[in-house]
Amino acid sequence: MNTWVVGRVPIGHHVLQPYNNAEDASKSTSGIKTFFLKARIMAGQANLKDNVLGLEDFKWLTKEEVSKVVGNKYWSSVKNFLHDR
């Protein structure tokens, strides 16, 4: 897939707060920040054939469809990054 990143700065970010479990340290998580960049697909299609993450499928979703697939907290964090088209 041939893509072009529109700018040099993120259009937004999502923060997953750290969780500390005093009783079981294996259930604790570190905080994660995900940054979103605006990009355009110039040509091609997503190809998962040789991916290293073991992914088997993907979805192209509209803004309305994304709201039904992700959790409420995540959706409230990212909904303004997406266009209404």
> Where along the chain do its domains lie?
2-81
Element (H, E) at 34: strand 32-36
**pLDDT at site 43:** 94
**pLDDT at site 42:** 93
Q: What is the pTM of this model?
A: 0.67
**Residue spans of the chain under pLDDT 70:** 85
Q: Which amino acid is at 77?
A: S
Classify 31 as helix, strand or coil: coil
**pLDDT at site 24:** 74
